[in-house]
Amino acid sequence: MIDRSLNNRPLGPNSGTQIWRDLLFLHWKIPTEELRPLVPKELEIDTYDGQSFVALVPFRMCEICPPWLPKRLAFTFFETNVRTYVLHKGKPGVYFFSLDASSRLAVWAARLGWSLPYYYAKMQSESRGELRTYRCTRGHVRSLVEFSPSGDLETAKPGTMEHFLLERYVLFVKRSGIIYSGTVHHAPYSYQPSIVNRLDDSLVANSGLKLPKNMPDLAHYSPGVNVEVFRIAPD
């Protein structure tokens, strides 16, 4: 039995703090058999009511600060990741196909310290009233999404699809033939549904996935959370 209701902080000091702001979660339902060749065999594809998902998530990473860095030197950048949901030894988590960041330093640090598939990209965000836009460009690979948050903010209840998709606190990565896990800790997301007005994306396709349709099945916006980050270790 998988317990998805727990969000326990790991013991000991963190390896850094961050603030994640203005997150947009776009989700598509996708056949598990299309995901399976792209995910390490040690990881089980996680599903909700038998359905697997792929996600595109643009947001702002703010006040990135390892413990040894003075807060005044913390830095901020944009990120867009492409991910799916997996299990390892019964533990639910995230597997990333790609992560684009607008900071070369962040890309270098994440690749070296976490073995994550980070890439440098030019990114920007705009807001015009309720309409928000994220842009990401990495060579010929691009993503543009225009959206408007809609509805009241709420917190996902365990057992719901929103909880399955949003409340993920562990990432898995394969390094030197071994599965490692890294944990983050934060309060549950406050989120609201969003209306996607325009989407032009090739990041997901660049990961080797063919989406069944252009527009996502689900779109959620969160104002953000304060995050503690913990080092990866063999899982």
- The total of structural domains in the chain comes to 1
The answer to whether residue 118 sits within a structural domain is: yes
The answer to whether residue 8 sits within a structural domain is: no
229: which 2 tokens? 């980050």
Max CA distance (Å), the chain: 48
12: which 2 tokens? 């000991």
The answer to whether residue 46 sits within a structural domain is: yes
* pTM score: 0.95
Pairing type for strands 16-30 and 178-185 reads unpaired
The answer to whether residue 6 sits within a structural domain is: no
The answer to whether residue 57 sits within a structural domain is: yes
Give the Cα separation of 138 and 102 in Å (integer).
10
Give the Cα separation of 109 and 87 in Å (integer).
26
pLDDT tens-digit map of 179-226: 999 999 999 999 999 999 999 999 999 999 998 889 999 999 999 999
83: which 2 tokens? 């991910």
pLDDT tens-digit map of 141-185: 999 999 999 989 999 999 999 999 999 999 999 999 999 999 999
Per the structure, the complete domain to which residue 119 belongs is given by 16-234
Q: What is the CATH number of the domain that holds 66?
A: 2.40.400.10
DSSP state of 110: H
Q: Specify whether the CB–CB gap between 169 and 7 falls below 8 A.
A: yes
The answer to whether residue 4 sits within a structural domain is: no
Q: How confident is the model at residue 113 (pLDDT cuts 50, 70, 90)?
A: confident
Helix boundaries (H) for the chain? 32-35, 104-114, 161-166, 203-206
pLDDT of residue 183: 94
The answer to whether residue 201 sits within a structural domain is: yes
Give the Cα separation of 72 and 70 in Å (integer).
5
